Structure 1
Amino acid sequence: MTVEGMDWDSVYREEGDIPGPPPWNIGEPQPELAALIEQGKITGTVLDAGCGYAELSLALAERGMTVVGIELTPTAVAAARKAAEERGLSTATFVQDDITTFTGFDEKFDTIVDSTLFHSLPLEGRDGYLRSALRAAAPGARFYILVFAKGAFPAELETKPNEVDEAELREAVGKHWTIDEIRPAAIHANMPEMPGIPVPPFPRDEQGRIKMPAFLLSAHKPA
């Protein structure tokens, strides 16, 4: 099976089969997205969609940006709020809500960033998510999605994200957004060893994290 029916709050409570936090929560923004920050491509008021522990939100707030993180799981939201308070980051706020149906932010965001959320959604939730994000986007807003590519996980793995191929990603997002680019990318993960499950044979970064196959999609809402 894939992520349908997954209890994500138990994952963030670290009660699942994988020890520790989700492997793709690496204590800092994913390098693909950190590069966008350095390039000045994440600007204005930002939505961190499915923010998790909010590593991206916190990094942006440290640069003085206004960020809203929306996350389904109360454990992750509580951790994000605590981290922002401890760092004195008043421009980062966090909302517990369903990203596939959230409201209340019409045309608010200049940039929307999806850091490993898309593949965590049930397939039937994708369209609602993309519609909700479009409604929350200001005219001309930019949208970035970092998502696992098919082949990132062993086919025999019982529970895994809903990986995508390029055509599937383009079809889903292109119904609502104007796509500018889809390119191969990597999601860096602290993948633990688990009995009976081989560690994927992918390259590692300088910190020893596995670089798992992914796509980085860039899109925008017409002005």
Structure 2
Amino acid sequence: MADEEVAPWDDIYSGKAEDFSGPVPWNIGEPQPEIAELIARGKFHSEVLDAGCGHAETSLHLAAQGYTVVGLDLSPTAIAAATRAAKDRNLASATFEVADISAFTGYDGRFSTIVDSTLFHSLPVDRRRSYLESVARAAASGASFYILVFEKGAFPEGEGPNAVTEDELRQAVAPFWNIDEVRPAFIHALQAPPEGSDIELDDKGRALLPAFLLSAHLPL
């Protein structure tokens, strides 16, 4: 894990990044609603891997409901914040570790559910395959995998993260997982929509940005 790869994410989470004045846009203080709905519907089973957990509101929400969850992220600043939050909330079943999510080891066959809530589009395109190999290796037999990722077109051309088309998402994931569904979704973000855009806001004033929610599984 090279220092130059860690630094931009640490700068964002520590408030030092020039392009991110104010709150981290995807750190909304709760799980993304699309993911929260899956949890409420009983789609998650312990142990859970929160891939690219950031400040880990998904992990903390799961732990508060009794799930055992591990959050991994490249940013030491984010992992330190998540660890403090778990301690403050007395959530011993949530643990966190600094790791390169595209090349981590040590969890082979462990997780019954893996959740990627806004990580996939943050990866360099050439790291997608190694990332998917890593999470598949960490998955237990019959595990479920959920990816919430920006749809291409969510941002003006040449701006934003590495968003995907549905075909790109399917083609990346299919060699490693059995895909059950890819459906349109939204990522809720703490950012003002560009002037003149048709982006809507949710009931908390957060931008609703076009995304996909992929559901997949491994065979038993």
| TM-score, length basis structure 2 | 0.94
- 1:74 and 1:117 map into 2 onto residues whose CA distance is 16
Letter of the 1:155 counterpart: E
The corresponding residue for 1:99 is 101
Going from structure 1 to structure 2, the CA distance change for 1:94 and 1:217 (only over 3 Å counts) comes to same
Partner of 1:47: 49
Shift of 1:198: 3.8
- Identity, in percent, stands at 58
Take 1:21 and 1:116, find their aligned partners in 2: how far apart are those partners? 16
Q: Is residue 23–residue 192 contact of structure 1 (8 Å, CA) maintained in 2?
A: no
CA distance in 1, matches of 2:202, 2:176: 35
Rounded to whole Å, the distance in 2 between the matches of 1:161 and 1:200 is: 18
76, 89, 95: which one aligns with 1:74:
76
* 1:24 positional shift: 1.2
**Aligned with 2:28: secondary structure?**
coil
Kindly indicate whether residue 180 of structure 2 is the aligned counterpart of residue 219 of structure 1.
no
Q: Which residue pairs with 1:177 in the alignment? A: 177
Superposed, 1:160-175 pairs within 5 Å as: 160-175=160-175
- AA matched with 1:211: L
Verify the 8 A CA contact 1:67 1:91 in the aligned structure 2: yes
Superposed structure 1 runs of 4+ greater than 4 Å apart: none
Q: 1:49-70: per-residue Cα shift (whole Å, max 9, x none)?
A: 0000000000000001100000
Q: Distance in 2 between matches of 1:182 and 1:209?
A: 23
How many positions carry a matched residue from both structures?
Answer: 215
SS in 1 for 2:62: helix
Cα separation, 2, equivalents of 1:189 and 1:129? 24
Higher relative contact order (CA 8 A, sep 6+): 1
Counterparts of 2:50 and 2:23, CA distance in 1: 19
Q: Tell me the alpha carbon deviations over residues 61-90 of structure 1, each in whole angstroms, 9 at most, x when there is no partner.
A: 000110000000000000000000000000
Give, in angstroms, the shift of residue 156 of structure 1.
4.7
The answer to whether the 8 Å contact 1:143/1:218 transfers is: yes
Rounded to whole Å, the distance in 2 between the matches of 1:217 and 1:198 is: 30
Q: CA deviation at 1:44?
A: 1.7
**CA distance in structure 2 between the aligned counterparts of 1:32 and 1:180, rounded to whole angstroms:** 16
Q: CA RMSD for the aligned pairs?
A: 1.6
Deviations along 1:131-152, whole A, 9 cap, x unmatched? Answer: 0000000000000000000111
Q: Which amino acid aligns with 2:114?
A: I
Q: Secondary structure at the match of 1:140?
A: strand
